[in-house]
Amino acid sequence: GAAALFPWEGLSGSGSAAAAGDLAETVPFAHALPLPKTLTPLTRGATTDVYEMRMREADVEIVKGLTSRVRTFDGTFPGPTIKACQGRAVEVRQYNDLTVNAAVHLHGGEVHSEHDGLPMDVIAPGGNRTYHYPNKQRAASLWYHDHAHHLEAENVYKGLHGLYLISDAEEKKLPLPRGAYDVPLVIRDARVETDGTLRYTRPSDCPHMLVNGKERPYFKVAARKYRLRLYNACANRYIRLRLADGTPFTQIASDGGLLERPVQRDELLMLGGERVEVVVDFSRYSVGQSVVLENTGALPTERPEVLRFDIDRRSTDNSEVPARLSTLPPVPRGTVERDFELRTFPAMTINGVSYDPDRVDVATTVGSSEIWTIRNVEAPLPAPPDFHLYHSFHTHLTYFRVLERNGQPAGVRDSGLKDTVCLGPGETVKIAMTWGPYTGQYLYHCHQLGHSSGGQMGRIDVNPA
Ligand code: C2O
Ligand code: CU
């Protein structure tokens, strides 16, 4: 039968099970944590850094001893990291050497519509195009990934994603951990079979957790503070992260960059596309100790371990987490109100309709300040797996603030500038944003990518004021 491409199949009764091979057995902590390589610009102009990447298949080791064929940006899994600075533009020429369409979207990027990687605006196999990123926005941990119509879930799952980090003067002045102590952790699930196949299938059949492309690695750390940039890059599931000994995280940033003040978090529920940046002080441990980062959102049939930190050396540490990190722009006052209802059954829809690139779902204008009420109408299930009843509501072009969750003022998990917001079964959130600064066609969608590929996506046109 056809592969199970949709996470909701099991409950809707539609579709057949995956013709899956046997799941590869794994030994935890068999790999050292790799760090994605930083891409070097081809040229550095007066205003713009120019890069080039080739999307192509590659063979990589995800599970120790097995070779997996993946889809990559530039041969690495995940793709290379682009480091950008506020005020300096970046241009990336992307060559598509794959056999499928691809569209490159900069998630969290404030970019012109024609560079947004819209679902129909694809690079065909053999083609190339240059994306322009102005980088006028504040420091934040972004990522780039495929967005081709109906293909994004499988393309991203197979490896088409990489990091894009923007820094700015304000962030550089802070005494936060930097350099080797500022580490991205890109977390995602996978199903690797005994022959090495990385199979795209429903998340309940994807028990392998990868960090930076390797199955449950270990990371040797010094007994000092680290800044960890956590990404949920899973195609179709949430993760709940905690340190196994209960040590809290100090959260310093969310999707849209620094919070105003650090907050303590015991557990981080992250949906697809979400970023949380934390500082962890490993000086509380002695050399020789280890602490495991675990996913308490793992299924009962899965292992909770994600990554093991091995404290292997002492170190000096001049870094600090200041009590005041940043000042956020004022919360948009919101003079236009809109309502959105996300459904899983009987089909993936927003306000009853699936995505149609030719239909304008929302027409707005530059500068329009809006309050959106978003509802997840599905009822909770008695037992897991319930991944497909969660939604991760994401807007292109602009960040938003979460005002309310289920009628209560937003709490710490929703703080800061966001471009994704988690909706559990039955939940309602209110968010506020101002549209702009650019005009043209953009998207809002669920960032469980099986859902967006299945149509849980809308078109917003931002018109000149
Ligand atoms: Cu990361 Cu339209 O998505
Ligand atoms: Cu969804």
Instruction: List, for residues 126-167, the tens digit of each pLDDT value.
Output: 999 999 999 999 999 999 999 999 999 999 999 999 999 999
Please provide the CATH number assigned to the domain covering 179-313: 2.60.40.420
CA distance linking residue 325 with residue 176, whole number of Å = 10
- Confidence class of residue 5 from pLDDT cuts 50, 70 and 90? low
How much is the pLDDT for 405? Answer: 98
Residue 12, pLDDT > 70, answer no
Average of pLDDT values for 217-235?
A: 98
Homologous superfamily (CATH) for 336-463: Cupredoxins -  blue copper proteins (2.60.40.420)
The rounded percent of the chain whose pLDDT value lies above 70 is 96
CA of 269 to the centre of ligand 1 (A): 19
Ligand nearest to the CA of 445: 1
Using an 8 Å Cβ cutoff, are 229 and 143 in contact? no
CA of 343 to the centre of ligand 1 (A): 19
Ligand nearest to the CA of 236: 2
- Confidence class of residue 342 from pLDDT cuts 50, 70 and 90? very high
Nearest to 387 by CA among 238, 173, 283: 238
Judged by DSSP in three states, 12 sits in: helix
What is the atom index within ligand 1 of the atom nearest the CA of 452?
A: 2
What is the atom index within ligand 1 of the atom nearest the CA of 443?
A: 2
What is the atom index within ligand 1 of the atom nearest the CA of 147?
A: 2
- The mean of the pLDDT values for the chain is 95
CA of 210 to the centre of ligand 1 (A): 20
Using an 8 Å Cβ cutoff, are 458 and 444 in contact? yes
Ligand nearest to the CA of 390: 2
CA distance linking residue 396 with residue 107, whole number of Å = 7
CA of 456 to the centre of ligand 1 (A): 12
CA of 286 to the centre of ligand 1 (A): 41
Burial string for 411-447 (b: 16+ CB within 10 Å, else e) reads eebbbbbbbbbbbbbebbbbbbbbbbebbbbbbbbbb
pTM: 0.96
Ligand nearest to the CA of 237: 2
CA distance linking residue 248 with residue 258, whole number of Å = 18
What residues does ligand 1 touch, defined as CB less than 6 Å away? 105, 107, 145, 147, 273, 394, 396, 443, 445, 447
Structure confidence by residue, pLDDT tens digits, 246-277? 999 999 999 999 999 999 999 999 999 999 99
Residue 17, pLDDT > 90, answer no
Nearest to 418 by CA among 390, 392, 453: 392
Ligand nearest to the CA of 442: 1
Bridging pattern class, strands 161-167 and 82-85: parallel
Q: Is cis: bond before 203, omega within 30 of 0? A: no
Residue 19, pLDDT > 70, answer no
- Confidence class of residue 381 from pLDDT cuts 50, 70 and 90? confident
ipTM of the modeled complex: 0.98
CA of 194 to the centre of ligand 1 (A): 31
- Confidence class of residue 379 from pLDDT cuts 50, 70 and 90? confident
What is the atom index within ligand 1 of the atom nearest the CA of 273?
A: 1
- Confidence class of residue 214 from pLDDT cuts 50, 70 and 90? very high
CA of 86 to the centre of ligand 1 (A): 21
Instruction: State the span(s) of the chain assigned CATH 2.60.40.420.
Output: 9-170, 179-313, 336-463
CA of 147 to the centre of ligand 1 (A): 7
What is the atom index within ligand 1 of the atom nearest the CA of 396?
A: 2
Q: Return the residue whose CA atom lies nearest to atom 3 of ligand 1.
A: 107
Q: Return the residue whose CA atom lies nearest to atom 1 of ligand 1.
A: 107
CA of 396 to the centre of ligand 1 (A): 7
- Confidence class of residue 346 from pLDDT cuts 50, 70 and 90? confident
Residue 240, pLDDT > 90, answer yes
The rounded percent of the chain whose pLDDT value lies above 90 is 92
CA distance linking residue 80 with residue 267, whole number of Å = 29
What is the atom index within ligand 1 of the atom nearest the CA of 445?
A: 2
How much is the pLDDT for 16? Answer: 41
How much is the pLDDT for 14? Answer: 36
Homologous superfamily (CATH) for 9-170: Cupredoxins -  blue copper proteins (2.60.40.420)
Strands (DSSP E) found in 103-224 = 104-107, 128-133, 140-146, 161-167, 182-190, 208-211, 214-215, 218-222
CA of 427 to the centre of ligand 2 (A): 12
Average of pLDDT values for 290-296?
A: 98
List the structure tokens of 201: 């299938």
Residue 10, pLDDT > 70, answer no
Ligand nearest to the CA of 388: 2
Using an 8 Å Cβ cutoff, are 295 and 236 in contact? no
